[in-house]
Amino acid sequence: MPDIVHLAVADGVAAITLDSQHNRNALSRQLVSELSEALSAAEADSSAQVVVLRAEGPTFCAGADLSEALADGMAEGTRAVVALLRQIVALDKPVVGRVHGAVRAGGIGLVAACDVAVADAESTFALTEARLGLTAATISLTVLPRMTSRAASWTFLSGATFDGGAAAQMGLVTTAVPADRLDGEVAATVAGVATGAPQGLRETKRLLNAGLVADIDARGEELAALSARLFGSDEARAAMAAFLQRRGP
């Protein structure tokens, strides 16, 4: 199968692009595996100081691949997502998210794992798990530390859609700007972060994220098991099947 995650390193920036547009950049086994490999390669490349996580197409990331979940279950998939979130949080280099379009469920976990996230103000977010008989278990590891508790309660329980501006107010993203300013804001953000020395950036990121890494290590397996159990339930499987039928390919 062709690669669906691309890595390009230039001018001190490792750009990692999700490009699985046929399934809205969903967190399929292939995408999670390739994203992990790209992150490792970016971390090992001494010419890269900052990593930028971005996506092609109208959807940044649609969350779990529901077709795979229905076919094969999520016993391994949820653990792989926890490991991926930990990898982003613990990476030795700062990760800047360039966020546009639709961001759903597990995709929000990726955004929250980034050290800095710059969003298109018109991008849309929704934590839709409860509507499908699920809960945002694995991604809560990165999402809950970013958001205010009131915002988390509303968005997790209601599944309501909110835009990039609201995401910034909630603390989920660092800033939100009009679409025509997104690339410029990302470039300015990267340039600002890149003024740090490699050792300074590495040790500062470890300082900032020590508690988050510890929490992932302490609770990741438990939450992955909870998520996998819910994905395998009759209620969730029926809801996912109905959703996929409504949405179409």
Q: What is the DSSP letter of 64?
A: B
Q: What is the pLDDT of residue 193?
A: 97
Contact 71, 115 (CB under 8 A): no
Element (DSSP H or E) covering residue 216: helix 198-231
Question: Please, is 246 exposed, middle or buried when counting C-beta atoms within 10 Å of its C-beta (0-12, 13-18, 19+)?
Answer: exposed
What would the pLDDT profile of 144-164 be if each residue is shown by its tens digit? 999 999 999 999 999 999 999
Our separate counts of H helices and E strands in the chain read: 10, 10
Annotated domain spans of the chain:
5-193
Q: What is the pLDDT of residue 249?
A: 55
User: Which candidate, 128, 132, 129, 97, places its Cα nearest to that of 112?
Assistant: 97
Question: Within the chain, which residues score under 70 in pLDDT?
Answer: 248-249
d(CA 226, CA 247): 26
Q: What is the pLDDT of residue 247?
A: 78
CATH for 5-193?
3.90.226.10
Q: What is the pLDDT of residue 117?
A: 98
Q: What is the pLDDT of residue 1?
A: 77
User: Which candidate, 97, 212, 118, 132, places its Cα nearest to that of 165?
Assistant: 118
d(CA 120, CA 50): 20
